[in-house]
Structure 1
Amino acid sequence: MNDSLFIRKTEGLFTRVDSRVVILVEASGGWSKIITKEGVHLVSSTLGQLEEQLPVALFCRVHRTYIAALEHISSFTANSVRILDRDIPLSRSYAEKLFSRLNIIM
């Protein structure tokens, strides 16, 4: 249950989404897009609120507008992370925390 989110789909209906299928969370105006393997869920929560609700072991904030699922990061540079063939910006303020969470071999 701790690895699940209940996302509001319609008035009064909430659907369970396993947080392990979440690939990326993106801020979009006053909303957030929760991007999963099955599709996109638009929610009225802020990234800060979602960051508190998502399992710390699985996710890391990488930019003021993105939270990334660690297992879906396929590559990275000093300025970006690659998820789903998409380059996501990596802020300097979040880079050190991200790098400490990845197994990096030099």
Structure 2
Amino acid sequence: MRQPKKIICLAVDDEPLALSVLEQYIDRVPQLQLAAACNTAVEALSALQHHAIDLLFLDIQMPQWLGADFIKTLTDPPKIIFTTAVHKFVVEGFEENAMDYLLKPISFDRFIKTVNKVMETDLSTTPTQNLFTEKETTDPHLYFRADRKMIKVSLADILYIESLKDYIRVVTQTKNIITRKSISSLEETLPPQAFIRIHRSFIIALNKIESYNSEMVEVAKKKLPISRMYKHEVGRVLKLEA
């Protein structure tokens, strides 16, 4: 059986964390292939000259060269999905013929829906059927025992997990769940491309980080410490300066 053509992607964002999230999401989808990940529009221009890019993930706001201005320089641009942390810049993105946009922090579910939507608009290069199977688009989740029942929690809703000795607190966008479980055993069940342990007492969702430095990570307005034990791995993932 003939394998479907890979969709060659280019990701451009000046924020290391945002770029890392895009890299991880693209890697999770078998139909997508990342050709390059760039921190600047200048690097992206070089990548476009060396690769046949089908789909460009482009940050609207970047220093030196704005994403919207960069697009104007391309004579034959690929399909474009703008990314932005500020909703008001979405209009500007669509004025430059972007196919869709992703509002940061980007959830994997939203990423999948946007890619499906964009690729289905061009029937000359893409089959009309959905690019992703139902299994791949199903929202990943876990069940936790609390209040004498099993509670379903979407991984996309988790902000961070806190250890409470023999218990853990799962902090989501809408509720907190306290359940008897060790943080280490939970860590083994979480996808490493979406979560990282920063301390003996804390695991955080990478795409929920609001700010960070070499000492702490801020999630949902709460500053969580980075311990010495996990500092090297956190620094590698977040590309912290030494």
Q: Normalising by structure 1, report the TM-score.
A: 0.87
**Which has the larger helix fraction?**
2
1:9 maps to 2:146: yes
Q: Would you say the 8 A contact 2:209–2:219 is kept in 1?
A: yes
1:30 pairs, out of 166, 170, 192, with 166
Which segment is superposed worse, 93-102 or 59-68? 93-102
1:88 maps to 2:220: no
Once superposed, which parts of structure 1, at least 4 consecutive aligned residues long, lie more than 6 Å away? none
Q: Deviations over 1:51-105 (max 9, x none)?
A: 0111111100000100011111111121111111111010122122122223569
1:73 pairs, out of 195, 204, 209, with 209
Read off the aligned partner of 2:184 and give its amino acid letter.
Answer: G
Question: Percent identity of the aligned residues?
Answer: 24
Q: Would you say the 8 A contact 1:79–1:92 is kept in 2?
A: no
In structure 2, runs of 5+ residues without a counterpart are 1-137
> What root-mean-square deviation, in Å, do the aligned CA atoms of Structure 1 and Structure 2 show?
1.9
Q: Deviations over 1:5-63 (max 9, x none)?
A: 0112343x322211111000001132100000011000111010110111111100000
2:189 pairs, out of 29, 53, 57, with 53
**Which has the larger strand fraction?**
1
Pairs aligned (count)? 104
Q: Would you say the 8 A contact 2:139–2:154 is kept in 1?
A: no
